[in-house]
Amino acid sequence: MTELTDEHRAQVQDYLRATGLSLGLLVNLGHYLKAQIERIVSGKRLYASIKED
């Protein structure tokens, strides 16, 4: 996969809801030369991308 999509974010939200956890990380190691990482908070549509230089 080359980009994180809303479907990936929704999947993490579902996992967080099912497990009762409140915080998740969505990591894409297939992004060219750099990892793409997003921090996701359960119950909120908050996505914080971590940019690597």
- Give residue limits of the domains in the chain: 6-50
The C-alpha atoms of residue 49 and residue 35 are separated, in whole angstroms, by: 11
**Mean pLDDT of all residues in 17-41:** 86
Q: In this structure, are residues 13 and 25 in contact, taking their beta carbons and an 8 Å threshold?
A: no
pLDDT at 53: 42
Q: What string of DSSP letters covers 2-49? A: -S--HHHHHHHHHHHHHHT--EEEEEETTSSSS-EEEEEETTTTEEEE
Bridge partners, residue 46, by sequence? 41
pLDDT at 37: 87
pLDDT over threshold 90, residue 7: yes
Total residues belonging to the chain: 53
pLDDT at 51: 56
